[in-house]
């Protein structure tokens, strides 16, 4: 393509073979290192890690021996986001991923999952189950650090309510509270820095 043709295309916001890019899939070791950062150090080495293969599809990068499963940051997303949860939550989480992959969006994902929990198709934890997330502007694999990190901590207690826990069902200062009360997705939200 000559310069005379390429310049007008770029000036008008057109794309060319020179500017089109597909996301680079980080090596498995890098994905694993970032994915386990939401966990305390003593749980990181034994966690199962789901990440992305060369084809861009989610795959198991490491089968763990512990009680936690971690999801690597999606290379298609600009920001970093890793999430780790108790293995007992995997049926619920896996079903959500499958529904989204099939084109189900928004609140419909939970509508389907809640119905399937009620029908006994999705097994929910019998005990509280932790989930930790780490968000950030980006990830530095050399330092194994998230740039501008933010954390989120929750404790899933399916069908919990304010009455069953003694907690508020709406944010209340910096106190823990129950989100999605009375549903399979009920969880206690914790404010970082508590």
The string of DSSP codes covering 2-46 is: -HHHHHHHHHTT---TTT---PPPPPHHHHHHHHTTTS-HHHHTT
**Chain-centre distance for alpha carbon 173:** 26
Residue 124, strand partner residues: none
Kindly tell me the sign of the dihedral angle through the C-alpha atoms of 76, 77, 81, 83. Answer: negative
pLDDT of residue 191: 78
Q: Which residues pair with 179 in a beta bridge?
A: 187
The per-residue pLDDT for 126 is: 92
Q: What is the mean pLDDT of residues 109-118?
A: 97
CA torsion sign, 43 to 145 to 69 to 184? positive
pLDDT recorded at residue 22: 67
Mean pLDDT of the chain: 89
* Residue 23, pLDDT score: 77
13-70: per-residue pLDDT in tens?
443 344 445 679 999 999 999 999 999 999 999 999 999 999 999 999 999 999 999 9
Q: pTM for this one? A: 0.85
Q: Calculate the CA dihedral of residues 35, 42, 97, 52 and round it to 10 degrees.
A: 30
């Amino acid at each position: 393509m000559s310069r005379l043709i390429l310049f007008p295309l770029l000036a008008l916001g057109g794309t060319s073979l020179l500017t089109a890019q597909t996301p680079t899939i980080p090596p498995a070791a890098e994905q694993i290192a970032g994915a386990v950062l939401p966990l305390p150090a003593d749980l990181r080495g034994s966690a199962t890690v789901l990440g992305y293969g060369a084809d861009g599809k989610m795959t198991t990068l490491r089968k763990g021996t512990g009680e936690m499963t971690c999801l690597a940051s999606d290379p298609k997303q600009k920001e970093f986001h890793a999430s780790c949860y108790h293995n007992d939550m995997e049926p619920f989480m896996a079903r959500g991923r499958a529904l989204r992959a099939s084109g189900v969006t928004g609140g419909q994902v939970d509508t389907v999952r809640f119905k399937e929990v009620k029908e006994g198709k999705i097994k929910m934890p019998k005990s509280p189950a932790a989930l930790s997330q780490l968000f950030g502007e980006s990830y530095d694999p050399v330092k194994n650090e998230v740039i501008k990190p933010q954390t989120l901590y929750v404790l899933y207690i399916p069908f919990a309510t304010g009455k069953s826990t003694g907690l508020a069902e709406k944010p209340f200062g910096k106190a823990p509270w129950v989100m999605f009360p009375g549903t399979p997705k009920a969880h206690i939200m914790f404010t970082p820095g508590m």
